[in-house]
Every structure is written in C-alpha cells, then in structure tokens.
Amino acid sequence: MTVTPFGTRLREAMDSRGPLCVGIDPHAALLASWGLEDDIAGLERFSRTVVEALADQVAVFKPQAAFFERFGSRGIAVLERTVADARAAGTLVVMDAKRGDIGSTMAAYAQTFLDPASPLFSDALTVSPYLGYGSLRPAVDLARESGAGLFVLALTSNPEGAEVQRAVREDGRSIGATMLAHLAAENAGAEPMGSFGAVVGATLGDLSSFDLDINGPLLAPGIGAQGATAADLPAVFGAAVRNVVPNVSRGVLRHGPDAAALRASARDFADEIRKAVSSA
C-alpha cells in the first residue's frame, strides 16, 4: 500500500487550513490558570478541551511529551488518547519529544513514535541530531517507510543553543548549517515538499547567512509569548517563508478553558500569519 508522505499531507493541511501549529503544553501554571488541578483529571480535561476546540481549524497540534510523561503511565495514556483524537479529527500531530540517541536505542525511539502499530504513532517527531546526524538514521528510515516526518533541531530559539548550533566546523560551515544541508539532501526531488524539516526559531532575527531552502518544513517556535510576531516571519525566513509552520502555545492556550476564546485566538494568529506570508 502506498503511503502519502508527511510533506505532502502537511502541504495540503497548510494550504487548506493555514500553517498554524498549536502546542499542547499542559504545564502546572497553565493548568492552574484554567482552574484545573495539576493531576491526571486536569491533564485530561485540558488536552481534550484543546483538541475539541481547535482540531477542525488548525493544521498541526504539537503535544509536548514531557508534560504528559511527568504523570507516569497514566499521563502516557492521556497522551495516547490526545494523539488518537487529534488524528481522528484530521489534524496532523507533531510529537515534541526531542529524542536523540544511537543504534538500537534510537531505533526504539523511532518505533515508539513513527511506527503505525504504536499507540503513540504521530505524523512527525522532533529529534536532536547532536550525537551526529547519522545517529538519526533509524528514525529517518522508519519515517520514510511509514509516511511520517521528522523535525530536526537546527537553529533553536533558546540562547544556549548558539554555542553548539553556531559553532564552526573545520570546513568553515556551522553545525546548524550542516544540519540544514543534511535535510536538504533528504528532501531532494520531493514534491510538493519533503518530509524532513528543521526547527528554526522565529525569534532569531536575520538568518540570511543560512540556507533555509531545504525543500521541507520549518517548524518555528517563538510566536506569541516568546516575543516574535507573524509580521517577523518574512524577515527571518526570507524566500523559505512559505514552508514555515509557526508554533504558538501560550499565546493561544492562555485563553482557555473557554472553547470560543481558544478558537478566536487561534483564528487571529492564523489570519496574521496568512497575511504576513502572502505579502512576502
């Protein structure tokens, strides 16, 4: 059976719903602001509310695995239901787990999130390449086989990331640029867009010294609470802006638990992003 690649499905979702990605980040302070307890009941209520309110209008959900894992097996069960409900509603799921290891361990991480037989199977997974890009090969291969995708940490928005990602190799190219080049190679010839994307912070300012044209998606955290705006996207991403998937978490989630307010906030962000991208 032919599986439609993640890049194709993501392009279709972005074109029909807009490129907005909403994080599902049930940290303790956010649960409290919703009037929920920091327990399994609060976790489940929060996650279900976000999915029910937004699944028919956003292209992507990005659950942060850590906020579920902290509750142990019961939290993982909620994460499984959240992923299943979101995908059943037609929304793509990018699991934000930032996994990275070598050999059989990396293969096991890949099987957890990229094997269609797994209860945590997601449309894409965030991964860390800092044991060497080649260490990601089990995840790359399984993603390609299953029609899933990866988002590789390349130029992240946290200030500490620069000491690794902007370090310069002996060949004069930075580590971040090297990761982008690897992804461009993975996506070569893919239409309308490859399935292997990069995480590139929207707060980083001018990135014209980096080749962001990897023929794949660019997951861009930093819109909203971290200070970046939709209007910043063309200046940061240049010609690659059409492939940007801006991630908003607190900027939308702070409007809960009212479903109408969540929808209105997501709609406003999506409209601002569309305007910024179309004018680029």
- Cβ(92)–Cβ(9) under 8 Å? yes
247 Ramachandran zone, left/alpha/beta (phi>0; psi -120 to 50): beta
Residue 7 CB partners (closer than 8 Å, separation 6+)? 149, 187, 190, 192, 193, 194, 195, 196, 216, 217
Residue 72 CB partners (closer than 8 Å, separation 6+)? none
Catalytic residue among 81, 87, 98, 254: 98
Separation CA 155–CA 269 (nearest Å): 23
Q: Are strands 218-220 and 92-99 parallel, antiparallel or unpaired?
A: unpaired
**98 belongs to the catalytic site:** yes
Distances (CA, A) of 266 to 95, 263, 271: 19, 5, 9
Separation CA 156–CA 226 (nearest Å): 12
98: helix, strand or coil: strand
For the record, the structure tokens of 126 come out as 């965030």
Nearest to 195 by CA among 151, 138, 244: 151
One-letter amino acid at 104 equals: S
Which positions are annotated as active-site residues? 98
